[in-house]
Structure 1
């Protein structure tokens, strides 16, 4: 499991005073109101940015950081990820998992047969969809619903699934 969790991606600048628009990768964008800082992945290092102000615009979060007061200081970070330490993350409910913890899980069928590896999670409006690289079937999209996902065991690094008719 990773020590850091991605909470957003800088999409563009906002105005000339160093604000940025961030696409949140967290389920709850309001989460940014509780954060004191984020870690910016500059490509070479993680840089701590203390959050000075948070606003919301449509599906984006507008952030202002301490010490960044003009567009030139932040523009070079468009497309860069924002992270937080795992200790700063919100607690999850039952049957909720961080995407970072799901990626790489071994996927097995309910009879114990190896099926593949969970590569990524696609977030849709209704329910998430797990993207699985199957040994036999190539890329398989599996809805993250109780009828399909029977068990997730992070300690054993496995996910047990039931393949409903029509999925392959």
Structure 2
């Protein structure tokens, strides 16, 4: 028989297991999704996909989970998320501990939505310069408020919000680690 705490006494809480989320994919790999939680009983996973078309988690696509190569056996959209089944994972017990894990694809295997599609983690740390050559700082975050993304740039002028639209962003060069922009009128006037 267990003891019941006196009225007004807080009940002891079970210790929570902190979840350590991988910050970025391994070198040579691109993160294509993140595991949210198990789904049902047969090893399926609910995942957050990092591209609108989810091309990299479709049936037959190879992905890596915790460094182990798996093949997507089934994939279906469930609201904003996707439910997927990976080869070799057949029970809920096998997938219960995977919350927060990245699904990765080899860089050479990644299917991009189009030639101008980038993953957010690829943009973080890129230098932002104006078309005239002035360095504005580096991208530290990408906001997704709605119609277009917004790059949060930190540099000598402080924080600058750069709308990711065609009339502003002229070039994104991942190899050179640089984004060239043409600022909108007044965009830089608010900076110190």
Q: Give unpaired runs (5+ residues) of structure 1.
A: none
SS of the residue corresponding to residue 85 of structure 2 reads strand
Count of aligned pairs: 162
| Cα deviations by residue, 1:7-29 (Å, 9 ceiling, x for unpaired) | 11111111122111011012212
Matched residue, 1:36: 61
Q: Give unpaired runs (5+ residues) of structure 2.
A: 1-26
Alignment pair present for 1:144 and 2:169 = no
1:86-105 equivalences in 2 (<5 Å): 86-91=107-112, 93-105=114-126
- TM-score relative to the length of structure 2: 0.73
Matched residue, 2:134: 113
Aligned equivalents of 1:166, 1:55: Cα separation in 2: 42
Q: Which one scores higher on RCO, CA 8 angstroms, separation ≥ 6? A: 1
Aligned equivalents of 1:154, 1:67: Cα separation in 2: 35
Matched residue, 2:6: none
What is the aligned-residue RMSD (CA, Å)? 2.2
Deviation at 1:31, TM superposition (A): 4.1
Aligned equivalents of 1:145, 1:113: Cα separation in 2: 19
Aligned equivalents of 1:26, 1:145: Cα separation in 2: 18
Deviation at 1:34, TM superposition (A): 4.8
Describe the shift of the 1:49–1:140 C-alpha distance in structure 2 as closer, same or farther (beyond 3 A): same
